[in-house]
Structure 1
């Protein structure tokens, strides 16, 4: 296991460098002057342009500027945005809202996804199973921003059940509708995965043996089937947390949530490449760490798995 962890940590480096380099090139390669609009409607003074050019290495090629970024990153410095604020400070202020949204979304995803998946597997091919499949296809067919805007219009504007925008990210009630929207597509995948895993367990030899011993169906499903079926489900849930944090970019933008996603969108609009790259770097590292922890937990849950 120790050797596996070391190998995975070594794999982090090329993934992190490759991802951040691509994002760096996209962020700083956007058309237009990166200093445009930084002084309002006025033209920026020459002294400010010279200082910003030196500070952000704007007179250097992209590859060289990326090298400066990596050097700062090794020292734990995510950089300073055009507004003069440290990127790390902005992320510390924005991350709590994103974490709350992601955790609430994964809770909704697990509660409904696992329950629907089990119910579909126990009566495969019946009305509930078929309806769930068709509804899932419809949900997946719609882009996330479309579902977010529809939910905002129907449940926020028309029915008034939820606030249209989130003014207080610490309020679970205000985060509920965005969390449902964020969890919707992931819940569909989780329910199908749970259904498949439960069906495979129901057809296994140990379930047939349990039936021949006269065990109650509820006991067979509740103990034998679920215990073995939920191993791949737990793995998917763990890795999906990173996906939910990435998917929060669109949801936070639609519902005006002051989280990491909203920060990235605002930075894109203002051509703030420093903040864009810094925020994506933190998201990538978070995703990689979560994946490693899930793989370790997977081995702990299933003794048959060993990492050489």
Structure 2
């Protein structure tokens, strides 16, 4: 497998895949909401750089670690220089299909996202254009996705694995990209220790793979285990003070800062996975959140991607 490295707070996997772990606001567990904002990146460190202070099982898994508060939410930001299939596991349960972690890609049900088509993932796939928000919870209560789907809490953390395209489709893609660049030059351009449970539903699609069957390599190009560390553990292991918890969501909304809605008219949403559809929110395990919720006003929700907009009127020719 290819090497995985850290660049700043980004994980860089083979095939030019970059993953960032974004802090965000945790949403109330009822209703369906716009995508919450990013509040900066989680710091990421290599486990092997702290071999004397991390638990022995972490040294066995290797990978990286990041600090997260209890019930803090996150989303994963993706980038890729060339097409790649990315598997995302939460406690070795696929966040897309709800099936056990596998070293192979599957299309029925699909157990990966396709990059760069999928710009981010805010939670587990709940179908009908929604996901359920990733929220950190301690192992041992049964509240994690892993605990609810498998009945055990063994792994925790997040697992990532990439697969490249086979040589022939990759060559065709590169040639098409070259032609696109040539055409673009001809046209004037404008200036340019825990695991994860779930919280609220959000409007976000997990796109169906539209590459032909057999396009992806059978063996992964790279993989990495991401350990989630409580703030006290982080301080003990690294000697660093963890960043404070994000500003409360009421203050963010009152400040008039943006929320987001991503729309892709050509993308086909994946159906929900039966196993993931049965996962209960963390509030059912840890109790209600008494922090007040203030819904963002319509003007705060910014459309991204292929914004639907109004139809263009046709006239006489």
Bin for the TM-score computed over the shorter chain: under 0.3
More helix by share: 1
TM-score with structure 2 length normalisation?
Answer: 0.21
Larger relative contact order, structure 1 or 2 (CA cutoff 8 Å, min sep 6): 1
The structure with the largest alpha-carbon Rg is 1
How does the TM-score come out when normalised to structure 1? 0.21
